[in-house]
């Protein structure tokens, strides 16, 4: 007697297939875009197995690809969403057409630039975003004003701004340049607009913000607007992600083609 195939939550399966994040999968289900064995779902509380016929917008769920990761040098002026309600350009509009459907690991706001990690695997993106990962995000920041050493040093103990508690932020003063100062800032959580809000609280306006590193992954000399894949051996070393099985190339191509469909 053989064991029955092990099931997983539908949103997790969709994320692993590279269609979307788990959160987006739950939203798509609520919108009635997902069906299992011919029945439209109205709740993500469903466990499925490979035996189930899962469809998104009437199309079969693509086969899960091997997890892949890219470094992208985001220019200022692009939003980090697939669709923008204001019609602004997104970083996904600027990616090479040969790339599979990818999602971002975290975000950078419209006016921020620098390193963004992209992946075809929603579960990997979720894993990399978790604060428990303990990875430092490092930024080069230009502020308007004259930061005081004691102000910057105090941030290492954390700070609360407008009721929001921010964890330890390590700040290194680089240089004063006229009315502006350059700082290097390192933090682990990266809450929404954290650096801008904390600096504003100190009376320092951020007028340039560049992410230099996300954990072990560095912006380095990657040109603005360029994308470069992280080698599989590095993924294996840093994250324990298995190298792609080259015998599955035909299946991966099929998955990529379907994954481009966004409905």
Tell me the whole-structure pTM to 2 decimals.
0.72
> Looking at residue 66, what is its pLDDT?
80
* Helices and strands per DSSP (H, E), number in the chain: 7, 17
Whether 84 sits among the annotated catalytic residues: the reply is no
CB 219 within 8 A of CB 115: yes
> Looking at residue 82, what is its pLDDT?
80
* Cα–Cα dist 96/210, whole Å: 22
> Looking at residue 240, what is its pLDDT?
72
Instruction: State yes or no: pLDDT of 230 exceeds 80.
Output: yes
- Structural domains in the chain? 8-63 (3.10.290.10), 69-132+217-239 (3.30.70.580), 136-214 (3.30.70.1560)
> Is the pLDDT higher at 175 or at 126?
175
Region for residue 68 given its phi and psi (left: phi exceeds 0; alpha: psi -120 to 50; beta: otherwise): beta
> Looking at residue 32, what is its pLDDT?
92
Highest mean pLDDT among 35-39, 62-66, 144-148: 144-148
* Active-site residue identified among 3, 53, 109, 121: 109
* Cα–Cα dist 200/91, whole Å: 27
Burial 82-120 (b: 16+ CB within 10 A, else e): beeeeeeeebbeebeeebbbbbbbebbeeebbbbbbbbb
The tokens describing 18, both together, are 């590279």
Q: For residue 177, what pLDDT band results from cuts at 50, 70 and 90?
A: very high
- Mean pLDDT for 147-154 is 94
């Amino acid at each position: 007697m053989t064991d029955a195939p092990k099931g997983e939550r539908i949103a997790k399966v969709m994320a692993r297939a590279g269609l979307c994040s788990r959160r987006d999968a739950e939203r798509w289900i609520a919108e009635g875009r997902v069906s299992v064995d011919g029945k439209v779902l109205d709740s993500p509380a469903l466990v499925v197995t490979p035996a189930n016929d899962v469809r998104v917008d009437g199309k079969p769920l693509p086969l899960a690809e091997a997890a892949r990761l890219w470094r992208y040098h985001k220019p200022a002026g692009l939003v980090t969403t697939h669709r923008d309600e204001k019609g602004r350009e997104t970083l996904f509009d600027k990616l090479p057409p040969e790339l599979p459907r990818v999602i971002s690991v975290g975000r950078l706001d419209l006016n921020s630039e620098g390193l963004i990690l992209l992946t075809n695997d929603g579960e990997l993106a979720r894993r990399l975003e978790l604060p428990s990962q303990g990875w430092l995000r490092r930024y080069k920041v230009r502020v308007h004003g004259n930061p005081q050493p004691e102000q910057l040093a105090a941030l290492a103990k954390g700070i609360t701004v407008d009721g929001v508690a921010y964890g330890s932020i390590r700040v290194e003063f680089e240089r004063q340049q006229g009315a502006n100062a350059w700082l290097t800032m390192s933090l682990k959580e990266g809450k929404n607009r954290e650096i801008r809000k904390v600096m504003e609280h100190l009376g320092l306006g951020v007028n340039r913000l560049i992410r230099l590193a996300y954990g072990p992954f560095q912006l380095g000399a990657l040109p603005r607007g360029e994308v470069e894949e992280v080698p599989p051996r590095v993924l294996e070393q840093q994250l324990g992600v298995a190298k792609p099985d080259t015998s599955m190339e035909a299946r991966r191509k099929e998955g990529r083609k379907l994954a481009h469909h966004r409905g």
